[in-house]
Structure 1
């Protein structure tokens, strides 16, 4: 069992590390979009797409960088008490809190899948079956959701990014849970 846990930890950590290293450069994309927005508003006709695209890039940056942040332990923590605790006590505390985080991310993932199915034009109550093709038959399909801004981009791409990001965060949290279990058993990771 410990071998499976270690394999899972290595696999998920490797994927999230690489994706996080790529996602962190999204801040430069965001800066370029905002710079172009400022230049175009000052010297040319203002562009309609820049601010909304900056929001989309920021969502991608934040959501895809989340698993990397969890992996590095760069999340906010109350170090007033935590820093003085033993490794075993930290592992117990982290084990409990990561369970709450897993529940929260599961709810976010369900909402993201539901919202993505809606943005693709599906309005029934089983978004997973629609997105993953479990049920074939009478689906209620409508028009694809677009933003209400003047630019009117489709919403499903950024919502799909949210699904991927929440799923990877969930996988990383399970990896952290396994790390805490191994620490409690006295194993090194």
Structure 2
């Protein structure tokens, strides 16, 4: 069992680390879009797409960077008490709180799946099976949701990014859970 946990930790951490290192450069893409927005508003006709594209980039940057942040331990903690605790006590508290986080992320993942199904034109009550059907080719895509802005981009791509981000965050939370279990058993991670 410990070998399986260590293997899972190794794979999950590697995937999220590599993706996080790539996504962290998204801030430069965001800066480029915002710079173009400023230039176009000052010297040319304002671009319709820049504000919404900046929002989409920021969502991807934030959600896909979350697992990397959790892996590095750079998430917000209450260090007033936590910093003085022993490693064993920290592992117990982290073990409990990561379970709450997994539940919360599961709810967010289900909401993202429902929202993505809606954006692909599905209005019934089984969004998970619908998306699985779309992926396997047994379901058809309906009328695609578009933003109500003047640019009118399709909404499904950013919603798919949300699904991927929440799923990877759950994967990383399970890795942190395994690390805490191994720490409680006295192993060094």
The two structures have a TM-score, normalised by structure 1, of: 0.96
> What is residue 78 of structure 2 aligned with on the other side?
78
Partner of 2:3: 3
Segments of structure 1 that go 5 or more residues without pairing to the other structure are none
SS of match in other structure, 1:98? helix
Structure 2 residue aligned with 1:66: 66
By how many angstroms is 1:140 displaced?
Answer: 8.5
User: Partners in 2 of 1:41 and 1:83 — Cα distance?
Assistant: 48
Alignment of 1:104-183 (within 5 A): 104-133=104-133, 142-183=142-183
CA contact (8 A) 2:12 2:175 kept: yes
In structure 2, distance between residues paired with 1:139 and 1:161? 21
Task: Give distance in 1, aligned partners of 2:188 and 2:141.
Answer: 51
What is aligned with 2:94?
94
Post-superposition offset of 1:36: 0.2
Q: Judging changes above 3 Å, is the alpha-carbon distance between structure 1 residues 13 and 139 closer, same or farther for their aligned structure 2 residues?
A: closer
- Corresponding position of 2:21: 21
Distance 2:4 2:110 in 1: 27
Give the match's secondary structure for 1:157: helix
* Contact 1:122/1:140 (<8 A) preserved: no
Tell me if structure 1 keeps the 8 A contact 2:133–2:139: no
| Structure 2 Cα separation of the partners of residues 114 and 125 of structure 1 | 9
3-state SS, counterpart of residue 150 of structure 2:
coil
In the alignment, structure 2 segments of 5+ residues that lack a partner are none
* SS of residue in 1 equivalent to 2:142: coil
In the TM superposition, what is the alpha-carbon distance from 1:133 to its structure 2 partner?
Answer: 1.6
Q: TM-score, normalised by structure 2?
A: 0.96
SS at match of 2:152: coil
> How far apart, CA to CA, are the structure 2 residues paired with 1:77 and 1:131?
36
Q: Deviations over 1:82-102 (max 9, x none)?
A: 010000000000001000000
Counterpart CA distance in 1 for 2:2 and 2:140 is 46
